Amino acid sequence: MTAKNFLYAQSGGVTPVINASAAGIMHTARQYPELGAVYAARNGIIGVLREELFDTTSMLDEQVMALRHTPGGTFGSCRYKLKGVAESRAEYERLIEVFKAHDIGIFFYNGGGDSADTAFKISQMGTQLGFPIQCIGVPKTIDNDLPITDVCPGFPTVAKYVAIATMEASLDVMSMSASSTKVFILEVMGRHAGWIAAAAGLAQRQSGDAPQLILFPEISFDQPAFLQRVQRSVTEHGYCTVVVSEGVRDDTGKFLSDSGVRDAFGHAQLGGVAPRIAALIKGELGHKCHWAVADYLQRSARHIASRVDVEQAWAVGRAAVEFAAAGESGVMPVIERVSSKPYQWRIAKAQLSAMANQEKLMPRTFIDASGFAITQACRDYLAPLIAGEDYPPYRDDGLPDYLRPGQCPLLPQKLAKWTKTE
Ligand code: F6P
């Protein structure tokens, strides 16, 4: 294989462990001296178009390892849609120009379904434009909605955070419920897929435990049945914890929490369904409610990471380099479950074309007949993913010792400025 440099880019919503995949890539690439340098795009594909590329060769090995326990996306991410070559030919030509200028032969795109689509298009267009690029996808998304892979890196840590937050907040509302708050509502992310909401169900160790109700995007919101069950829980247990997915819809398919804002991929910005549910309960049942929107707190909760998640995020990064070194292109390392009890997994290979633009929703068999709880099959799937801890190191000031962004310089630019994304 000719010595060509690697380019790594992060894409879409970040996760608590996306940097662990970056670390897996950088650490592994350093074990192959015959391969080139690893560059990292600033803010994803936008940074490639703008020729803003970090030279990670100056990062010390300890800094690479510190990425493994640092949340956020250290190099910056983006939501930016590359259209088909017919509509966006200038962008593809520019990408290839940047790849050529910096002798980049391998492109790692760390993202979800939209990013798999982008990486797939780049691999096709590179060939068509006479500069073949090995494109390797690296999976991540807290939504856990990628096809083929058993689990998406990022999801298990969010699942662990949401399950623990549900358990802890429920102990609080239980304490207050005799004279004050009777209902706690936690809103979680997940867009069209209820995986994160389902994970809150892990907090329920015995029948009657919180969360008493989960609202999934896969089940249209049945207001009378919901209110009846909230009241039943308050009557039986004195309180009620509700976990609601941001993607819950009414029976016409309309999001209860659509803010009206759309991103570059046309996805609605969601958020704010918890206060609506709280107002409904207060108005119809008269109970005092507290609510929380977990929002970016769940997506960045590296302090309570699942050990399985960190190991898998690192492993897909390492496998991406191994695939590249073996000359692969248009593929993505994915997680294959070998067994649930004991939990065993391994890396498998998927085609990017099969990963692109598809959403894996919760199977109906994972939601119980009432539509408000998870089944044992779902619990069996989820339980091993949150096992084990991987705490970040802490400093004397009591805060985690996270790597600060900006640890490496940008490469000198060689091309004319690109202003079309500004
Ligand atoms: O990456 C997935 C996700 O976290 C969704 O769960 C959420 O709806 C969305 O991203 C939020 O995206 P942004 O940070 O771009 O508003």
Phi, psi of 230 (to 5 degrees): -60, -45
Partners of 347 in beta bridges: 335
pLDDT of residue 365: 98
For the record, the structure tokens of 308 come out as 């399985």
Pocket test for ligand 1, best of 295, 299, 361 (most atoms within 8 A of CB): 299
- In ligand 1, the atom with minimum distance to the C-alpha of 189 is 6
Pocket test for ligand 1, best of 143, 245, 262 (most atoms within 8 A of CB): 143
Mean of the pLDDT values across residues 276-295?
Answer: 97
Higher model confidence: residue 353 or residue 69?
Answer: 69
Omega within 30 of 0 (cis) for the link into 211? yes
Mean of the pLDDT values across residues 36-64?
Answer: 96
- Pairing between strand 38-41 and 5-10? parallel
For the stretch 175-210, pLDDT in tens is 999 999 999 999 999 999 999 999 999 999 999 999
Phi, psi of 402 (to 5 degrees): -80, 150
Q: Could you state, in order of their start, the residue ranges of all structural domains in the chain?
A: 5-141+303-358, 155-302+375-386
Nearest residue by C-alpha to atom 13 in ligand 1: 13
Burial of 101 (0-12, 13-18, 19+ CB in 10 A): middle
Between the CA of 193 and the centroid of ligand 1 the distance, in Å, is 12
Between the CA of 206 and the centroid of ligand 1 the distance, in Å, is 32
CATH node for 5-141+303-358: 3.40.50.450
**Inter-residue contact 80 to 48 (CB < 8 Å):** no
Catalytic residue at 143?
yes
Burial of 148 (0-12, 13-18, 19+ CB in 10 A): middle
Higher model confidence: residue 87 or residue 391?
Answer: 391
Pocket test for ligand 1, best of 110, 140, 142 (most atoms within 8 A of CB): 142
39 three-state secondary structure: strand
Count Cβ atoms below 10 Å from residue 26 Cβ, excluding itself. Answer: 24
CA distance between the termini of the chain? 37
Given 55, 103, 114, 143, which residue is catalytic?
143
- In ligand 1, the atom with minimum distance to the C-alpha of 246 is 8
Count Cβ atoms below 10 Å from residue 414 Cβ, excluding itself. Answer: 11
Nearest residue by C-alpha to atom 11 in ligand 1: 13
Measured CA distances, 354 to 137, 332, 351, 360 (Å): 12, 10, 5, 12
Q: Containing H/E element for 188?
A: strand 183-188
Q: For ligand 1, which residues put their CB under 6 angstroms from it?
A: 12-13, 79, 141-143, 189-191, 246, 263, 269-270, 299
pLDDT of residue 1: 47
For the stretch 145-179, pLDDT in tens is 999 999 999 999 999 999 999 999 999 999 999 99
- In ligand 1, the atom with minimum distance to the C-alpha of 112 is 1
The superfamily (CATH) of domain 155-302+375-386 is Phosphofructokinase domain (3.40.50.460)
pLDDT of residue 2: 56
For the record, the structure tokens of 200 come out as 């809150």
For the stretch 99-157, pLDDT in tens is 999 999 999 999 988 888 888 888 888 888 888 999 999 999 999 999 999 999 999 99
